[in-house]
Structure 1
């Protein structure tokens, strides 16, 4: 190494020597082990809405984005341009040029309002959609929400070789020998900024398929060395995509989790969930002093079960099934007819049973349900609702006039988010590869299930598909033209899907059809089913083989066998199982033993009785009905899509400001949407209607205030002292000392200096990222 440095010093050409020294320093840092990939030419982004003017960095709209020019002058819509690589100059019509943002250059973003939908006027919650290149949008999010995002969910391009993504405005396909390193270079830049907006206890979720999973795993380990990765295969295509050797049925969600992150456990619905209260004649409250199954289950306002209360003496009777005591609700095993019954387990089993209980609001009455299986999150997910064709493609196609390739199942995204934010009702969720907008759709479903107030920010470009791009060019349109832009993904898919799903109808007034599956459940009483097997002449003479043959005939409504033959033993007089919803009585002489075995088996729905006498069958049926009563089943609540969601969304397009204009304080109107977002996007976005810049803004409905003219500080401080809802204050001043003094003079912790904080964030951030 030292010898090479000595040789480099001998090069007389100083510019060449400096360049070689820089390149050698870069090569010296290359790793000998781990994920190694080319950095590639830095990314450039076309900015179709930024005017071309003297000094602009530009490219030809029909050329390569990295073939850059500097505009020397403009006369009569003709720009004299110098090529940044060759130094050659040429005249180019301004209409053929597009402004370009280069990686590593400081940008000064603003948000241009495009549209909004408001379907929850009483709610202060506003989601956000940002149409932008996600790299620049992430730079903005770092200014708005450093270390404040609870969950980042992204579904980046899978890099299958099918021209599904672009690098430097060119499609990357299977013929590109550098497609893997280009993909990693693209992801690395974005994940580094994503790390800076993720809260310490936040979770990053990345879905990917096998094309890049191994590479992505190594990249994530490199960027998040202090976190643990949990890969979760999800069966999203049960039929399988026919590959060269295998039919691929899955993709993988990688959960990037810190030590302080919490992964919430999910109770899967089904026959294993039932009421904690007993049913039938044997379920009424015991009047003996030794009774230990009549006590309150104490629940807080958020329906969290706190603990079991004390057992009530036999002569003490509560006022009802739900009794409010301070901030808690005491839930007793009292049925809808006011009859005092028993819990399934006594007070002494509290520690054993408590983890499997769940409080449910059933039409205003709090009920306690028990989940018999462990609720630990599994590392392989299979559920019919994760089918991307059924609950992704078909769902979107039913909403929109256009089609979108390979959208996620709404429920796969919903469940991934649920495990991360179900215990955080005010979570902030970001998706910067938003695609069709499934993440925001899933957040709205989560919120409506538990009255949450989670906020979602989507970022997606407005890329036009390759086929549509070709057709539009043939018609004479170029990127940036209104006709071109309306075919982009954000405007033709993401926004209309979001809008229609919230309103429950399309722009033409037609109502959305279909239903959502929700995590909400409701209890319902259903009768148990009894079947007389009277075709056997001598039931007591049944052999073991005959009993097995008989059991094999027992099928449910879907044709599945209800009891395994392995349960039949040589001396079996009946079969009762904790794991199966059917039972069979072979020998009616053993009816008392059978009834005793059934006493706590509330999950059994189907009863088969081998007996020729109809009278005996009816008598036994009555005994079972008296013992167990009707079955209390838990059903999944569905929500009509036409109901929409009580939610509000603002749709912006990312724009760019001139640094000098910002420094001089001439861009307040353009900056205001950013201040609203930085303050939490509370309430309807404020606007300045007059042409004159105000001296100050006091916005209690939005939770923030701005002092524009620092000479008005005394008046400003007095006004905000009279407001209780101001949580964030912005001071426009060039003086660091004045900013500190003004901050010290108010009682609000969150204060920011404009426009210095804004400018420094993007200048310093661009240096760090480059």
Structure 2
């Protein structure tokens, strides 16, 4: 409509073009808004659907990455009990491999005696109804729905004493990320993700269906899927100093780069090419694939820190880039004539001692022309900045500065050639390398110049964006390593442990208490890498790993033929989290396989030791649950909310598992006050403990909450339950796309 109007208008002047079109569009938007409001009054669901589509269209960018958001994304929750008011799918009969009914039904009533549910078809004009056995229903959560998350502990392993606990969360990663918006908003130092590569080979699902290679909306579905999760990830990262690392291959790297640029507008983004299969994977009709890509998204002041890396990180650069470089003391090139720096024309007196030359003294600046009139100390020769053509030049430094350099060991003498002996010094950049420990001092030469260790293990630098590192090979550092840890259990394309470890190292070396998140954790490589980094420097970093319990496509068919469904114990035991991730995390800590045998083989590179040694770390496993606001407010959901309180307090020490009988309790990192008339006892306990970071206070009375908050010791954060929790997820509700 706008195009037609514009075509028929005769614009009076170019200056008015923008204002006339703007006026037309504003009137159009206003009219559409009125029509949507009317539609809401007659049919709330239709009105809401129209408004959502209108918002999606009106938010389209003139330039940049435009794609369909495919609302609503949905996920089935097989372990979630069916409640009245739930949206559900009707499952196919047991033993069938056919696809179930993908229409959404609303549960109107539940008959507990007969275990049947009365359903109404959502969106149907005729109000179609149905009565189905509860066992044949699965709850569906759409991504615009409000969810109130909880966590159920499913096991743990502890060898780390008072260290923070690593956590593994089994759940849909979008919902798990929403849970973390309450516990970790702005607290995450690094995110490492290896999302689905969208190969078209059943490597991921959208709305409970595998996205195949012939899907016309394959790429926009992937973008919508990723955008929702990246928007939540952005809320979790520390805006002042953090990094997001995402790996991808050639199928989506262009789209991912654009998407990251749109989600993280204020960030600096760079891409690294990394060889993960030196032999290459043959591909029909194309070049063999050996490379994948890593996007690094830098927030705030974040930047990669120089690391002690072997020289093979940068095979294309000359090695002298990574050694301590002594520069000729006589100035060469431009501005090297005596007239350019007369104050830097002076004698340097050296003498020979045994087989070596040593500094004797530094003379004053000389402005004359007869060098013989300068007295030379006995046994010494005078070195002057004489150029190759015999003209007078200058030294790089004045007399006073050179004396300081000699005293500090930053000046040295070359092989003895009398008055023509070459003299060298370290400039400011090279001196900085020494002063920050990049080149450790191991002694002094006879002339007083420093001796540094320049062996490969001490070469520190930030590499280029081309990585061809043997340890990053996905075969040796990924598949074969995983086979040693959990023998007989296969996982497709695990990352090299050392590749993930090295990528993170640039950003958490100076953060021994860093929080690292991986919400596509798969086999658990990121958690493994964080434990390796902790062992290398005694750090207390913690990793939060999120994965679902999806069963592989081939295994699904076999299990369905046997009459099993998602949610059944026999089905769930083959899921990624229960079959791969949790066993791996437990095995690497204990040093034993799931069968109780010592893990064979040694860790390589950086830190070499037997894998059977394990790690002195702690890890706890959880499954995400879905609570009701009533259950939260009336505290019947407390056992599932309790882990979130502990997570928000840093995942350290004891966890308060149940409502305290005394009306209050104080754990290592936080306290909980349930009965306000016990406030004095609670406050005294907080003061005695000395270490709690958070005080959770359960009350509906804002005035009393504020009064108690003012009485807490300095540094203890007061959080009102359950208002803070409920409000967070009410605000988080809605379509994030």
Say which of 73, 91, 104 aligns to 1:61.
Answer: 91
Gaps of 5+ in 2: 1-24, 93-99, 313-318, 325-351, 363-403, 409-422, 443-450
Say which of 145, 148, 151 aligns to 1:105.
Answer: 145
Equivalent runs, 1:449-598 vs 2, <5 Å: 449-519=536-606
Query: Aligned pair in 2 of structure 1 residues 4, 652: CA closer, same or farther (>3 Å)?
Result: closer
Q: Secondary structure at the match of 2:120?
A: strand
* Contact 1:124/1:684, CA 8 A, preserved across alignment: no
Aligned to 2:107: 70
Aligned to 1:174: 213
State the alpha-carbon separation in 1 of the partners of residues 708 and 587 from structure 2: 46
Q: Secondary structure at the match of 2:60?
A: coil
* Contact 1:235/1:251, CA 8 A, preserved across alignment: yes
| 1:215 Cα deviation from its structure 2 partner | 0.7
Equivalent runs, 1:170-569 vs 2, <5 Å: 170-200=209-239, 201-243=241-283, 244-269=285-310, 290=360, 352-355=430-433, 357-358=437-438, 369-370=453-454, 375-400=461-486, 401-519=488-606
* Contact 1:53/1:71, CA 8 A, preserved across alignment: no
| 1:653 Cα deviation from its structure 2 partner | 0.5
State the alpha-carbon separation in 1 of the partners of residues 462 and 580 from structure 2: 36
* CA displacement 1:322-368 (0-9 Å, x = unmatched): xxxxxxxxxxxxxxxxxxxxxxx999667524416437799xxxx96
Deviates more, 1:32-41 or 1:470-479: 32-41
State the alpha-carbon separation in 2 of the partners of residues 501 and 127 from structure 1: 13
| 1:754 Cα deviation from its structure 2 partner | 0.5
Say which of 664, 667, 682 aligns to 1:696.
Answer: 664
State the alpha-carbon separation in 2 of the partners of residues 512 and 47 from structure 1: 35
State the alpha-carbon separation in 2 of the partners of residues 415 and 467 from structure 1: 34
Q: Secondary structure at the match of 1:436?
A: coil
Aligned to 1:747: 713
2:609 is the alignment partner of 1:649 = no
| 1:693 Cα deviation from its structure 2 partner | 4.5
| 1:448 Cα deviation from its structure 2 partner | 0.7
Deviates more, 1:382-391 or 1:131-140: 382-391
2:125 is the alignment partner of 1:45 = no
| 1:722 Cα deviation from its structure 2 partner | 1.9
State the alpha-carbon separation in 1 of the partners of residues 238 and 602 from structure 2: 34
* Contact 1:391/1:411, CA 8 A, preserved across alignment: yes
Q: Secondary structure at the match of 1:715?
A: helix
Q: Secondary structure at the match of 1:101?
A: strand
State the alpha-carbon separation in 2 of the partners of residues 652 and 21 from structure 1: 38
2:179 is the alignment partner of 1:140 = yes
* CA displacement 1:239-286 (0-9 Å, x = unmatched): 22222321111110000012411311223226979999xxxxx99999
Query: Aligned pair in 2 of structure 1 residues 291, 248: CA closer, same or farther (>3 Å)?
Result: farther
Aligned to 2:649: 679
Query: Aligned pair in 2 of structure 1 residues 135, 354: CA closer, same or farther (>3 Å)?
Result: same
State the alpha-carbon separation in 1 of the partners of residues 689 and 680 from structure 2: 15
2:703 is the alignment partner of 1:737 = yes
| 1:120 Cα deviation from its structure 2 partner | 1.9
2:203 is the alignment partner of 1:164 = yes
* Contact 1:163/1:173, CA 8 A, preserved across alignment: yes
| 1:386 Cα deviation from its structure 2 partner | 0.8
Query: Aligned pair in 2 of structure 1 residues 707, 209: CA closer, same or farther (>3 Å)?
Result: same
State the alpha-carbon separation in 1 of the partners of residues 406 and 56 from structure 2: 75
| 1:5 Cα deviation from its structure 2 partner | 5.8
State the alpha-carbon separation in 2 of the partners of residues 369 and 671 from structure 1: 54
Query: Aligned pair in 2 of structure 1 residues 19, 758: CA closer, same or farther (>3 Å)?
Result: closer
* CA displacement 1:521-570 (0-9 Å, x = unmatched): xxxxxxxxxxxxxxxxxxxxxxxxxxxxxxxxxxxxxxxxxxxxxxxxxx
Aligned to 2:633: 663
Say which of 711, 718, 723 aligns to 2:677.
Answer: 711
2:726 is the alignment partner of 1:759 = yes
| 1:727 Cα deviation from its structure 2 partner | 1.7
2:190 is the alignment partner of 1:151 = yes
* CA displacement 1:39-88 (0-9 Å, x = unmatched): 11312222222222333222123425553332333251121111112221
* Contact 1:73/1:81, CA 8 A, preserved across alignment: no
Query: Aligned pair in 2 of structure 1 residues 643, 32: CA closer, same or farther (>3 Å)?
Result: same
Task: Give the paired residue count.
Answer: 596
Query: Aligned pair in 2 of structure 1 residues 76, 423: CA closer, same or farther (>3 Å)?
Result: same
State the alpha-carbon separation in 1 of the partners of residues 485 and 496 from structure 2: 14
| 1:369 Cα deviation from its structure 2 partner | 2.9
State the alpha-carbon separation in 2 of the partners of residues 740 and 9 from structure 1: 43
| 1:737 Cα deviation from its structure 2 partner | 1.4
Query: Aligned pair in 2 of structure 1 residues 347, 191: CA closer, same or farther (>3 Å)?
Result: same
Q: Secondary structure at the match of 1:72?
A: strand
Q: TM-score, normalised by structure 2?
A: 0.75
Query: Aligned pair in 2 of structure 1 residues 103, 259: CA closer, same or farther (>3 Å)?
Result: closer
Query: Aligned pair in 2 of structure 1 residues 670, 288: CA closer, same or farther (>3 Å)?
Result: same
Q: Secondary structure at the match of 1:394?
A: helix
| 1:513 Cα deviation from its structure 2 partner | 1.4
Aligned to 2:380: none
Q: Secondary structure at the match of 1:358?
A: coil
Aligned to 1:325: none
Q: TM-score, normalised by structure 1?
A: 0.72
* Contact 1:60/1:97, CA 8 A, preserved across alignment: yes
| 1:376 Cα deviation from its structure 2 partner | 2.6
Gaps of 5+ in 1: 277-281, 293-309, 315-344, 520-636
Aligned to 1:564: none
Q: Secondary structure at the match of 2:554?
A: helix
| 1:676 Cα deviation from its structure 2 partner | 0.9
What CA RMSD, in Å, does the superposition of the two structures yield over aligned residues?
3.3
Query: Aligned pair in 2 of structure 1 residues 126, 84: CA closer, same or farther (>3 Å)?
Result: same
